[in-house]
Structure 1
Amino acid sequence: MTKLFTTAAAVALMAGTALAQQDTITVGMQLEPPNLDPTGGAAAAIDEVVYANIFEGLTRFGPDGSIQPALASEWEVSEDGTVYTFTLRDGVSFHDGTAMDAEDVVFSLNRARAEDSTNAQKALFAGITEVEAVDPLTVRVTLSEPNGNFPFNMAWGDAVIVAEETIEQAATTPIGTGPFTFTEWVQGDHVTISRNENYWGEAPALATATFKFIADGNAAFAAMMAGDIDVFPVFPAPELVSQFEADPRFTVIEGSTEGETILAMNNAVAPLDDVKVREAISHAINRQEIIDGAMFGYGTPIGTHFAPHNPDYVDLTETSNYDPEAAKALLAEAGAEGLSLRLMLPPPTYARRGGEIIAAQLREVGIETEITNLEWAQWLEQVFTGKDFDLTIVSHTEPADINIYARPDYYFQYDNADFQALIADLAVESDPEARAAMNKEAQETIANDFVNAYLFQLAKVGVANANIEGLWENAPTQANDLTDVRWTE
């Protein structure tokens, strides 16, 4: 009798565990975020945890890249295009129970645009001259000039709404308005979030979600196979994806991203301040060899900093086509033969593997490289902030971000007054045809200036348990939005 009771109890316990697992999920990520405040850090991994899960903005990106209402249910634009009036949703609370209202929007936008702001995308807020709380549920934003892209700007993770009372703790214990609340962060291992039972919108199906950080591709494969990870939205070992395709327990999700992967060059330091040297480096690069060798065929070659799926994209790959003899001639013409350059590589697979391939390609034209592998925090400090590098490889996953080339203080330090004026004109232009022409001119300008060596558009290749639905196929922004994710059985 005791044995029968024990067996029955075990079955019941197993059944209960199986049911419980249907509202929990473990999400694999290659990189751990340096902090959890999307308004105070540049790392994509921050948004991959908190965007649309913990924090929300006035608007948001949908899975198809569309701009959708979020904390603002609607907005109106003045006839001259300089005043946006946002109507906020009623009954929205932060996770600590305090109300979210117009004053929080005023604080968030003023903080982001302040002179001492540490926001990584401060340019999104540069045109704001005034933010007013008309009443608790109405915010008026006045711009210095028309900006048809303003709702798009407000959808970025850098523009989420935060509370003045809790912003100081956002880096480690974030408090937002989203469908999930922060539970814990075990640094070096995982972040766990839990369903917000007081969420203003439709409650998510998931009760808890854990973001598990696994940098090594083989470890990620083992964790998926063992069921320790339920989904890896961007699987770090593309060479192993075919094994998941052959296994009915898994679904392979292949889509596109906004990630322009580039060999960035420090335009402000010699000899890279010479366009002939930058052109030589660009012609030394065999893109397809990098895509095949580092990404196992996943990726689309690009010749400028623009996503190929964008209707305004111009294929400029021939401008910097693979031509090692031309590269050698340009180096000789520039008097820059026998170069040795520092190549700083962050952790992602595309950078580490791609860096080895690029080093070999540069060696063929007479350029030696000193490779230094950096952890993500080191890369952010030394390369992105400190600008202490010659070459680096990174994927820029922010949407429609060619405007970074209009920021001479940005890490690759490209300073072109005509380009800056073009981007300024683009920011205020609302006519679609005129905007398309400006986007094309911008792409051609940076391609012809060989600002960076443009490699490939990062593919989004994910692996998931076959019983999970609601995951994003594409990545219009850097996010693992779990709002609509659920188990089918």
Structure 2
Amino acid sequence: MTELLKSSVVALGLMASAAAAQDAITLGMVLEPPTLDPTANAAAAIDEVVYANLFEGLTRFGPDGSVQPALAHSWDAEQDGRVWVFHLQDGVSFHDGADFTAEDVVFTLDRARADDSTNAQKILFEGIESVEAADPLTVRVTLAAPDGNFPFKMAWGDAVMLDPASADSLANAPVGTGPFRFDQWVQGDRITLTAWDGYWGEKPALNRATFRFISDPSAAFAAVMAGDVDAFPNFPAPETLSQIEADPRFRVIVGTTEGETILAMNNARPPLDDARLRKAIAHAINRDDIIDGAMFGYGTPIGSHFAPHHPDYVDLTQQSDYDPELSKQLLAEIGEPVRLRLALPPPSYARRGGEIIAAQLRAVGIETEITNVEWAGWLETVFGAADFDLTVISHTEPLDIDIYARPDYYFGYAKPEFVALMDAIQRATDPGERSDLYRQAQEMIAADNVNAFLFQLPKTGVADARIKGLWENAPTQANDLTGVSWAE
């Protein structure tokens, strides 16, 4: 075979390989999910793999944050929102071949609200009084009180529909109704999904999706530049974005998330049960330095637990502005030396931001002992057991200010007046009334300095310039691949 012929064969082979790859995608992720069961764990990385891809709910979030039909094609409110009737899609089946019917909805919602439920967002289901299958394609949900927000709650990843036969094995062998089915999980490396031929809705353009776990920012940058990943929707190395943006092979995608990034404080334990200390910490922090140093300028300062792009957002940053002299005065009033533990999970915003925060606290007289913890350890020790003083974390669930009303939540607030506000929001059906209550809620937790509110986490992603359909914004924690394709 001549060298020219050999070259032609190699070139044709490369072209064929490239063409074959256009129905597959490899995405980078910072964190590996601890499990693939979105109904039993709070880790955002779970939904980043399975939401809308493998599992579906009665409703879903669209890329603009709107609540859209999913397994229910429509729904009706009765009795001013106390009763909700969901009309299900016909011809839906699970990946194991079982038909999806109203009985599966009854099973899923009853399981989520049961006394022994391990659902991380059990509060979404606490208002349910009963769930009935009126017929195979109609479900009637009766609530204890009117709730105009119920379809929104059903769009969360924690409310996806399950097959009773596989509900107990979702952690490692998930079965859903989505356009992709579970293929393989190589622990510590990747998860692979493949398109499912039996999908009830519009088939995805992709046939295969691989999620690779790369937590180190330098390694993430190297993987992008080498083409080892096709996209990194939540890119952990913002310092390299200008370099990537200058390369015509790539596209930089900057949008918003629902992620309120906070220095969480353990309100339930001394010494942080002292409001003066929490206030001293809040005023010792220079948000701009953290945004510049940890996020290289990406991020919007926040003064409460609410997304700045939400219409009910109140800018309360001035209530906890940088005032180290005030911090020193408050510490002098307390009169005792303060030394706190600071647990930092793997994301770069936490590790980098935590180092800056420790230096800022040290400057006013608060010593911190930093411990870097892996994600599973953070979930068990900090989130699960509340065994911490301080931690840096981004809460990426949508409109989740209600977590401050939960008595067993890890930062231990649940002030009765705040709980009453959340109860009032739950009952309110008038949009104006709900807006006013949300503003009051923001103001209350800001005044109490429950946590030190840092910045709204931006969505800084990078992708091969030929990829279309990736979400620019993140109204929920998801890498929705249902509309993703390669340019022809």
How far 1:392 moved relative to its partner? Answer: 0.3
Residue 257 of structure 2 corresponds to 257
How far 1:2 moved relative to its partner? Answer: 6.9
One-letter amino acid of the structure 2 residue matched with residue 97 of structure 1:
G
Residue 480 of structure 1 corresponds to 479
Residue 449 of structure 1 corresponds to 448
One-letter amino acid of the structure 2 residue matched with residue 274 of structure 1:
D
Alpha-carbon distance between aligned partners in 1 of 2:237 and 2:153, rounded to the nearest angstrom: 33
Residue 405 of structure 1 corresponds to 404
Residue 193 of structure 2 corresponds to 193
Alpha-carbon distance between aligned partners in 2 of 1:481 and 1:187, rounded to the nearest angstrom: 22
Q: Deviations over 1:243-300 (max 9, x none)?
A: 1111111000000000000000000110100111100100000000000000000000
One-letter amino acid of the structure 2 residue matched with residue 432 of structure 1:
P
How does 1:454-465 map onto structure 2 within 5 Å? 454-465=453-464
One-letter amino acid of the structure 2 residue matched with residue 221 of structure 1:
F
Residue 94 of structure 2 corresponds to 94
One-letter amino acid of the structure 1 residue matched with residue 275 of structure 2:
V
Q: Tell me which moved more, 311-320 or 326-335.
A: 326-335
How far 1:142 moved relative to its partner? Answer: 0.4
Residue 236 of structure 2 corresponds to 236
Alpha-carbon distance between aligned partners in 2 of 1:88 and 1:188, rounded to the nearest angstrom: 38
Q: Does 1:420 align with 2:419?
A: yes
Residue 323 of structure 1 corresponds to 323
Q: Does 1:307 align with 2:307?
A: yes
How far 1:167 moved relative to its partner? Answer: 1.1
Q: Deviations over 1:149-190 (max 9, x none)?
A: 000000000000011100111111101000101000001000
Residue 437 of structure 1 corresponds to 436
One-letter amino acid of the structure 2 residue matched with residue 299 of structure 1:
G
Alpha-carbon distance between aligned partners in 1 of 2:292 and 2:239, rounded to the nearest angstrom: 10
Residue 80 of structure 2 corresponds to 80
Residue 290 of structure 2 corresponds to 290
Alpha-carbon distance between aligned partners in 1 of 2:258 and 2:99, rounded to the nearest angstrom: 34
Alpha-carbon distance between aligned partners in 2 of 1:45 and 1:403, rounded to the nearest angstrom: 21
Alpha-carbon distance between aligned partners in 2 of 1:295 and 1:80, rounded to the nearest angstrom: 45
How does 1:20-419 map onto structure 2 within 5 Å? 20-335=20-335, 337-419=336-418
Alpha-carbon distance between aligned partners in 1 of 2:221 and 2:342, rounded to the nearest angstrom: 29
Alpha-carbon distance between aligned partners in 1 of 2:390 and 2:9, rounded to the nearest angstrom: 61
Alpha-carbon distance between aligned partners in 2 of 1:424 and 1:467, rounded to the nearest angstrom: 47
How far 1:6 moved relative to its partner? Answer: 4.8
How far 1:121 moved relative to its partner? Answer: 0.4
Alpha-carbon distance between aligned partners in 2 of 1:315 and 1:415, rounded to the nearest angstrom: 22
Residue 469 of structure 2 corresponds to 470
How far 1:124 moved relative to its partner? Answer: 0.3
Indicate if the aligned counterparts of 2:28 and 2:213 stay in contact, CA closer than 8 A: yes
TM-score (normalised: structure 1): 0.99
Alpha-carbon distance between aligned partners in 2 of 1:9 and 1:466, rounded to the nearest angstrom: 28
Indicate if the aligned counterparts of 2:98 and 2:163 stay in contact, CA closer than 8 A: no
How far 1:80 moved relative to its partner? Answer: 2.8
One-letter amino acid of the structure 1 residue matched with residue 15 of structure 2:
A
One-letter amino acid of the structure 2 residue matched with residue 240 of structure 1:
T
Alpha-carbon distance between aligned partners in 2 of 1:3 and 1:111, rounded to the nearest angstrom: 66
Alpha-carbon distance between aligned partners in 2 of 1:70 and 1:297, rounded to the nearest angstrom: 37
Alpha-carbon distance between aligned partners in 1 of 2:202 and 2:80, rounded to the nearest angstrom: 36
Q: SS in structure 2 opposite 1:103?
A: helix
Identity %: 67
Structure 2 residue runs without a partner (length 5+): none
One-letter amino acid of the structure 1 residue matched with residue 222 of structure 2:
A
Q: SS in structure 2 opposite 1:22?
A: helix
How far 1:12 moved relative to its partner? Answer: 3.2
Q: SS in structure 2 opposite 1:309?
A: coil
Indicate if the aligned counterparts of 2:469 and 2:485 stay in contact, CA closer than 8 A: yes
Q: SS in structure 1 opposite 2:104?
A: helix
How far 1:15 moved relative to its partner? Answer: 2.1
Q: Once superposed, what is the RMSD of the aligned Cα atoms? A: 1.0
Alpha-carbon distance between aligned partners in 2 of 1:434 and 1:314, rounded to the nearest angstrom: 15
How far 1:408 moved relative to its partner? Answer: 1.6
Alpha-carbon distance between aligned partners in 2 of 1:209 and 1:125, rounded to the nearest angstrom: 32
One-letter amino acid of the structure 2 residue matched with residue 467 of structure 1:
R
Alpha-carbon distance between aligned partners in 2 of 1:436 and 1:190, rounded to the nearest angstrom: 42
How far 1:13 moved relative to its partner? Answer: 2.3
Alpha-carbon distance between aligned partners in 2 of 1:2 and 1:293, rounded to the nearest angstrom: 57
One-letter amino acid of the structure 1 residue matched with residue 176 of structure 2:
G
How far 1:11 moved relative to its partner? Answer: 3.3
Alpha-carbon distance between aligned partners in 2 of 1:157 and 1:116, rounded to the nearest angstrom: 19
Q: Deviations over 1:86-123 (max 9, x none)?
A: 00000001011111111111111011101111100000
Structure 1 residue runs without a partner (length 5+): none
